[in-house]
A = this chain, B = another copy of it.
Amino acid sequence: MTYPASPSAGVSLPVPAAELDAADPLARFRSRFLEPEDGQVVAYLDGNSLGRPLAETAGRMGEFIGGEWGNRLIRSWDESWMDEPIRLGDRLGDVVLGAGPGQALVADSTSVMLYKLLRAALDGRPGRDEIVVDRDNFPTDRFLVEGIAAERGASIRWIDADPKAGVRPGDVAAVVGRRTAVVLLSHVAYRSGYLADAPAITALVHDAGALMLWDLCHSAGSVPLHLDQWGVDLAVGCTYKYLNGGPGAPAFGYVRAGLQAELQQPLWGWMGAHDPFGMSEQYRPADGLRRFLTGTPPILAMQPLKHMVELIAEAGMDAVREKSVLLTERAIALADGLLAPLGVGLASPRDPARRGSHITIEHPRFREVTAALWERGVIPDFRPPYGLRIGLSPLSTSFAELDAGMAAVRDALLEVS
């Protein structure tokens, strides 16, 4: 991908994009991603919705299909696949989640995994009948809580935080109490990009005797996580955003080791049983983390994620975060300089310490703008009613690409205005 020169002319940016790219210690990783065909993509600013494929993924998928699948066939279940959900979970835990072994697994869709862990948490705190969730959380999170509350006779305690800010420790402290069973929050808010104070909120929730479940969809792979250190109880996340697992890639789940024996999820499938192939008439959950599995693990669909976790291990999450902050800082500077004069507002925190790896800008014409941009290969993400998300996946995005994309937003906005 090549980018038009000087898109940020006239905007007060201390350093030209080319200079930042030249100094970027992660720049070499960009060539590890598959180059789109000419003209298909000018600037990809939606790695927070669907990460790009790695260049190696098609070849390695072919090797997998011919080898583990085609040559070893059913023998691969014995040889490696049976342990894959937890082996890959362990690797993800080490590289991305800040989790020791035996606490993370890869399985299901994010929504299904979230259902299982929410149910496990609620059922695991008898005598407590409230689920706390914020009203600006991602639809699937809110919907699942609604359904579970209805079927289990629980109540929902809504947090009404400022959507442009996010859920602060004080918002949580104000609602948790003796009735709270579990608190579900997104670590990085899907709209504003607000980065919640996970350790402080987790501690508050524990003080109330409740369980903390973090939705890490928008932080895993872009923000360093320290789940063990923060004392997090439960977490879920998806792997097709900053973890580049491909469309509909499986989710991950995290259950703190000390909690595994006392919690049980309700989807009693064979893979969560103590003896999946057993003749036993009665279900007995597996002793440890496996009890949170249900069906046959999606082995084929896990392959691209494996490749990306290794790439992140090479780069290191701290370096990823460092570039992420530089990218979102620049995106805000470009929004201020290029777009604010056209009536565009910023709906994301200005403090990088409270921000994930995307920013959201707002304008009433952004629906049309997005349609026009997509046609010309500039790809941000539209979120109703009028938000444009600029997602900046640090390992695959250059500063020049960001500049080109933001200039294209300005141009498209001028055209429709």
A379 touches B283 (CB 8 A): no
B296 touches A238 (CB 8 A): yes
**Given A46-B74, A58-B62, A147-B266, 17 more pairs with CB closer than 8 A:** A50-B69, A50-B74, A57-B65, A58-B61, A58-B65, A61-B61, A62-B62, A74-B381, A75-B379, A108-B112, A111-B270, A111-B294, A139-B273, A140-B269, A143-B273, A146-B268, A238-B296
Q: Does A249 contact B (CB under 8 A)?
A: yes
Q: Does A19 contact B (CB under 8 A)?
A: no
A sample of 12 inter-chain contacts (CB < 8 A) reads A40-B72, A58-B61, A61-B61, A74-B379, A81-B247, A112-B267, A135-B281, A139-B273, A143-B270, A144-B269, A146-B283, A147-B268
A9 to chain B, nearest CB (A): 28
For A348-380 the 0/1 string (1 means CB < 8 A from B) is 000000000000000000000000001000010
Question: Which of A65, A68, A299, A374 has the most chain B CB atoms inside 10 A of its CB?
Answer: A65
Q: Does A298 contact B (CB under 8 A)?
A: yes
> Which residue of chain B lies nearest to A108 when distances are taken between CB atoms in the complex?
B112
Instruction: Please give the count of copies of this chain that the complex contains.
Output: 2
A147 and B115 in contact, given A58-B65, A140-B269, A379-B73 (Cβ under 8 angstroms): no
A247-266: which residues lie under 8 A (CB-CB) from chain B?
247-251, 266
Q: Which chain B residues border A93 with CB–CB below 8 Å?
A: none
> Which residue of chain B lies nearest to A374 when distances are taken between CB atoms in the complex?
B75
A41 touches B147 (CB 8 A): no
Q: Does A237 contact B (CB under 8 A)?
A: no
A192-210: which residues lie under 8 A (CB-CB) from chain B?
none
Q: Does A151 contact B (CB under 8 A)?
A: yes
In the complex, A266→B267 CA distance in Å? 11
Q: Which chain B residues border A36 with CB–CB below 8 Å?
A: 70-71, 73
Q: Which chain B residues border A270 with CB–CB below 8 Å?
A: 111, 138-140, 143
B379 touches A269 (CB 8 A): no
For A9-48 the 0/1 string (1 means CB < 8 A from B) is 0000000000000000000000000101100110010100
